[in-house]
Amino acid sequence: MAIKVAINGYGTIGKRVADAVDAQNDMEIVGVTKTRPAFGCDLAVRKNYPIYCTYDDAEKISAFAESGYECHGGLSDLLAVADIVVDCSPGKVGAANKAKYEAAGIKWIFQGGEKHAMTERSYTSSANHMENVNVNGTRVVSCNTTGLSRTLVPLYNHCGQLKVECTMIRRAADPGDSNKGPINAIKPVLQVPSHHGPDVMTVKPEIEINSMAVAVPTTLMHCHSIVATLPEGHGLTTNSVIEMWKNSPRIIVMNGAQTGISTTAEVMEFARDIGRKWGDLHEIFVWEDGVKLDGNTLYYFQAIHQESDVIPENVDAIRALMGTESDWKASVAKTDAAISRYNNL
Ligand SMILES: NC(=O)c1ccc[n+]([C@@H]2O[C@H](COP(=O)([O-])OP(=O)(O)OC[C@H]3O[C@@H](n4cnc5c(N)ncnc54)[C@H](OP(=O)(O)O)[C@@H]3O)[C@@H](O)[C@H]2O)c1
């Protein structure tokens, strides 16, 4: 029987998770929530996803019908028909929802805007799928932490030890955000280390990692500049690291000079050219000619599509929590095959 999935918060991440879940043959969307009958409801109607109100308030629920949308009830009604809820509410808002999910007796997944301390467990497909099998709730880590895990976990698995320093060059806002900045400044995160590196240790505590971050006036992607110290006797070369990543799931490695894809703008154009829905790129993009292993020190750049790299991870996390697939690679293969049916030209 298909896993019944509720999406609480149908915004940037919620609408993407809904479609990725809908594409799978072992799960189905039983409803999505909106706070009010506004932007986003039409998309849910077109997709045939039942709309529920974020609140149980009768007045707020009836406002949907007044605007011409069928509303199936409040959050409690949605939780009553679901096996699991994916909370895609804005960062730091979700904590208040946890008690509601526990009262409803269903499993829950939060996003990276919430603290690990609140969920007490975090998730990325490659780092700790198995530890999340059959648990009640977890947090899919942020887009940056997911990106770091994708390339660092295979390296750690080969080396058995890894020390990392990295700088996150962060997009200022998502393309749909109209109230964030900076628009003409570079804004350092004046908390050192930034939370991104240490957050990797919530899914892979064995990796020693610190990060700094700056926000820059772009909306397209984040870019990471990474320096990793490998242990003596690592046995790797620049080429074998590149091959390792090419053979790891959800990483694209391309040569910037040869392809002409040398900036995040071109990476995003590439994603649109190959027909990805919303122009998304679920994979982490590594520039082959930006990778250099010098003795024990590995240098590389990678680009992260912030709105979409966590989407397939949410699908894998659902399978982990529901205990329907304990092999992370099998889940990743299933998730990505289903998504690619709607994704590629
Ligand atoms: N955007 C990214 O790049 C990105 C990447 C990785 C992780 N994340 C994380 O994913 C989560 C969602 O971010 P987002 O970018 O998708 O935010 P978003 O675009 O602002 O969407 C959040 C949605 O939550 C709804 N909402 C507001 N208050 C709510 C509540 N109390 N309970 C449930 N839903 C509520 C809003 O509904 P209405 O529209 O109906 O008002 C909105 O559609 C955050 O934790 C964020 O840190 C975001």
- Ligand 1 contacts CB of residue 146 (under 6 A): no
Are 218 and 319 in a shared domain?
no
* pLDDT for res 93: 87
Are 282 and 168 in a shared domain?
yes
Going from the Cα of 179 to the center of ligand 1, the distance in angstroms, rounded, reads 14
Are 102 and 228 in a shared domain?
no
Ligand 1 atom with least separation from CA of 143: 6
- Ligand 1 contacts CB of residue 256 (under 6 A): no
Q: Encode the chain (345 residues) as per-residue pLDDT tens digits.
A: 999 999 999 999 999 999 999 999 999 999 999 999 998 999 999 999 999 999 999 999 999 999 999 999 999 999 999 999 999 999 888 889 999 999 999 999 999 999 999 999 999 999 999 999 999 999 999 999 999 999 999 999 999 999 999 999 999 999 999 999 999 999 999 999 999 999 999 999 999 999 999 999 999 999 999 999 999 999 999 999 999 999 999 999 999 999 999 999 999 999 999 999 999 999 999 999 999 999 999 999 999 999 999 999 999 999 999 999 999 999 999 999 999 988 765
Are 162 and 264 in a shared domain?
yes
Tell me how many domains the chain contains: 2
Mutate to test the pocket of ligand 1, among 8, 13, 51, 218 (most ligand atoms within 8 A of CB): 13
Are 79 and 114 in a shared domain?
yes
Are 235 and 314 in a shared domain?
no
- pTM of the predicted model as reported, rounded to 2 decimal places: 0.97
Are 160 and 116 in a shared domain?
no
Among protein residues, the one whose CA lies closest to atom 32 of ligand 1: 89
Going from the Cα of 160 to the center of ligand 1, the distance in angstroms, rounded, reads 36
CATH code where residue 334 lies: 3.40.50.720
Are 245 and 136 in a shared domain?
no
Convert the chain into a string of H (helix), E (strand) and C (coil).
Answer: CCEEEEEECCCHHHHHHHHHHHCCCCEEEEEEEECCCCCCHHHHHHHCCCEEECCCCHHHHHHHHHCCCCECCCHHHHHHCCCEEEECCCCCCCHHHHHHHHHHCCEEEECCCCCHHHHCCCECHHHHCHHHCCCCEEEECCHHHHHHHHHHHHHHHHHCCCEEEEEEEEECCCCCCCCCCCCCCCEECCCCCCCHHHHHCCCCCCCEEEEEEEEECCCCCEEEEEEEECCCCCCCCHHHHHHHHHCCCCEEEECHHHHCCCCHHHHHHHHHHCCCHHHCCCCEEEEHHHCEEECCEEEEEEEECCCCCCHHHHHHHHHHHHCCCCCHHHHHHHHHHHHHHHHCC
Active site members: 143
Are 120 and 178 in a shared domain?
no
CATH code where residue 259 lies: 3.30.360.10
- Ligand 1 contacts CB of residue 54 (under 6 A): yes
Going from the Cα of 90 to the center of ligand 1, the distance in angstroms, rounded, reads 3
What is the domain range of residue 36?
A: 3-141+310-343
Are 154 and 291 in a shared domain?
yes
Are 14 and 40 in a shared domain?
yes
Are 227 and 266 in a shared domain?
yes
Going from the Cα of 328 to the center of ligand 1, the distance in angstroms, rounded, reads 26
- Ligand 1 contacts CB of residue 308 (under 6 A): no
- Ligand 1 contacts CB of residue 12 (under 6 A): yes
